[in-house]
C-alpha cells in the first residue's frame, strides 16, 4: 500500500474568524495551531497533527495532503508521477507545519497534491488505552475525522489513470457514457486505495476547482442531527439529508462561511480491489447522486470554489 488516506485539506477562506467559528463550534473540530494567516484543525478521532488548514485570503482549494504508508513511497510515487508527465517538486521537512518531507505533485487537473509520510502524531481525544466511545464534551456536529473530497477536472478519465498509476487507487464506482470500456467517456470516478469506499472523486468540469471536502460520521442519524445544527447556526444547506446511490452513503452538503462546500458522510459499503467496479449511466445520474430525490439541483454540478 502506498497512499493510506487523504491526510489534510488546505483551503482558503475570506474571514478567518467566521471560518474558525464554523469549523470549531458547528463542525466540532479542535483548533490545534495558528501560524500567521493559517489555522490548523483536527477531528477528535484523528491522531495526526491536523487534517484541515484554513488560510485567510480568497476562497477555494490550496492543496490536499495524502499520507503514504512508507517513507520510500515518496520516491516511488515521484517516479510514477514524472513518468505520467506530471510536474513534481520536493518540499523540505518543516516547511509545512508539523509535516515531514513532501512530494508535491501538480496534477493533470491543475490541483496540488502533497504526498508525505511523516506528520507529528499523538493520540486521539479518547486516548489510546482503554478508550471510551467518544469524548463527552463534543461541540456541534462533533466530526471525528476528514473523510474524502471531490474535485473537478476537464478530463476525469485522465485523472482516473493518474490516480491509478501513481497512487495505486482503484475505481470503486464511475459514471460513464457506455458500459463498454472501449467506447466510454468517463464523466466521474470515485476512487480509493483502502476499504474506505472513496478517498477522492473526480467529476468532469473546470480545472483546479474544489467541489467539496467531507467529514466522516458513523451513523445516518448523525447526518440528520448535523443538518439540524446547520439550521440552528444559519449554515446554508446545499442538499440533504439524503442518501447517495453511488457509495450508498448518507449525506448532507453545506457551505462554510467562505462558500467552500463541505459534506458530512456516513456509511457506504466497503471497497476491495477485487470487488467489481460499479458503473452508472448518465440517464440515471440524478438517482446515482441523490438516491431519494432522483434529480440533481442546478447548484450541485456548477457551484465550485
Partner 1 sequence: MTKVTVHPTGEVVEVRDGETIMGAFYRTGYAMRIGCKRGGCGFCKIDVHDGAFEYERPVSDEVVTPAEAADGVCLPCRAVPTGDMVVEFRENSLRLVNPLMRYMLSSKEVPARPSHLSTTV
How many Cβ atoms sit within 10 Å of the Cβ of residue 280?
19
Q: How far apart are CA 171 and CA 199, in angstroms?
A: 10
Catalytic residue among 8, 116, 169, 253: 253
88 torsion bin: left (phi>0), alpha (psi -120 to 50), beta (else)? beta
Cβ distance to partner 1 smaller for residue 39 or 163: 39
How many Cβ atoms sit within 10 Å of the Cβ of residue 239?
18
Candidates 137, 140, 127, 125; CA nearest to 43 is 125
254 within 8 A of 237, measured Cβ to Cβ? yes
Catalytic residue among 22, 49, 111, 148: 148
Cβ distance to partner 1 smaller for residue 15 or 89: 15
Q: Does 279 bind partner 1 (CB under 8 A)?
A: no
Instruction: Tell me the β-bridge partners of 267.
Output: 249
Cβ distance to partner 1 smaller for residue 25 or 194: 25
How many Cβ atoms sit within 10 Å of the Cβ of residue 60?
15
Tell me, yes or no, if 50 is annotated catalytic.
no
Q: Does 14 bind partner 1 (CB under 8 A)?
A: yes
Rounded to a whole number of angstroms, the minimum distance from the CB of residue 201 to partner 1 is 19
Catalytic residue among 23, 49, 212, 222: 212
Among residues 12, 117, 148, 225, which is the contact residue for partner 1, using CB under 8 A? 12
Q: How far apart are CA 98 and CA 94, in angstroms?
A: 6
> If you search the block for the grid coordinates 484543525, which residue do you land on?
41
Query: Which grid cell sits at 273?
Result: 480491489
Tell me, yes or no, if 132 is annotated catalytic.
no
Applying CB under 8 A, the span of 73-81, 216-224, 255-263, 282-290 interacting with partner 1 comes to 255-263
Cβ distance to partner 1 smaller for residue 283 or 298: 298
Applying CB under 8 A, the span of 55-63, 188-196, 241-249, 270-278 interacting with partner 1 comes to 55-63
Instruction: Tell me the β-bridge partners of 213.
Output: 149, 262
Q: Does 58 bind partner 1 (CB under 8 A)?
A: yes
Q: Does 251 bind partner 1 (CB under 8 A)?
A: no
Query: Which grid cell sits at 179?
Result: 458500459
Tell me, yes or no, if 244 is annotated catalytic.
yes
Tell me, yes or no, if 154 is annotated catalytic.
no
Write out the residues near partner 1 by the rule CB under 8 A. 12, 14-15, 17-18, 20-21, 24-25, 57-60, 232-233, 236, 238, 255-261, 298-299, 302-305
- Give catalytic residue positions: 148, 198, 212, 244, 253, 263
Amino acid at each position: 500500500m502506498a497512499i493510506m488516506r487523504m491526510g489534510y485539506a488546505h483551503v482558503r477562506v475570506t474571514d478567518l474568524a467566521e471560518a474558525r467559528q464554523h469549523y470549531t463550534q458547528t463542525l466540532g473540530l479542535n483548533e490545534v495551531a495558528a501560524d500567521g494567516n493559517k489555522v490548523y484543525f483536527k477531528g477528535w478521532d484523528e491522531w495526526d497533527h491536523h487534517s484541515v488548514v484554513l488560510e485567510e485570503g480568497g476562497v477555494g482549494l490550496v492543496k490536499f495532503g495524502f499520507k503514504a504508508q512508507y517513507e520510500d513511497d515518496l520516491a516511488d510515487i515521484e517516479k510514477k508521477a514524472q513518468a505520467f508527465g506530471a510536474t513534481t517538486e520536493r518540499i523540505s521537512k518543516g516547511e509545512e507545519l508539523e509535516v515531514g518531507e513532501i512530494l508535491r505533485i501538480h496534477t493533470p487537473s491543475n490541483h496540488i497534491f502533497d504526498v508525505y509520510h511523516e506528520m507529528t502524531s499523538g493520540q486521539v481525544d479518547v486516548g489510546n488505552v482503554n478508550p471510551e466511545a467518544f469524548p463527552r464534551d463534543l461541540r456541534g456536529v462533533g466530526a471525528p475525522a476528514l473523510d474524502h473530497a471531490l474535485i473537478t477536472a476537464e478530463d476525469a478519465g485522465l485523472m482516473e489513470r493518474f490516480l491509478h498509476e501513481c497512487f495505486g487507487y482503484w475505481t470503486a464506482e464511475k459514471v460513464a457514457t457506455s458500459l463498454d470500456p472501449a467506447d466510454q467517456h468517463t464523466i466521474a470516478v470515485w476512487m480509493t486505495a483502502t476499504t474506505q469506499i472513496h478517498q477522492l472523486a473526480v467529476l468532469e468540469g473546470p480545472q483546479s476547482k474544489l467541489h467539496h471536502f467531507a467529514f466522516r460520521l458513523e451513523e445516518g442519524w448523525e447526518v440528520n442531527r448535523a443538518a439540524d445544527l446547520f439550521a440552528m447556526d444559519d449554515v446554508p444547506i446545499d442538499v440533504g439529508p439524503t442518501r447517495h446511490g453511488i457509495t450508498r452513503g448518507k449525506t448532507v452538503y453545506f457551505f462554510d462561511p467562505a462558500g467552500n462546500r463541505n459534506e458530512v458522510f456516513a456509511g457506504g459499503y466497503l471497497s476491495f480491489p477485487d470487488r467489481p467496479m460499479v458503473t452508472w449511466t448518465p440517464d440515471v445520474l440524478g438517482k446515482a447522486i441523490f438516491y431519494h430525490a432522483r434529480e440533481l439541483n442546478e447548484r450541485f454540478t456548477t457551484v465550485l470554489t
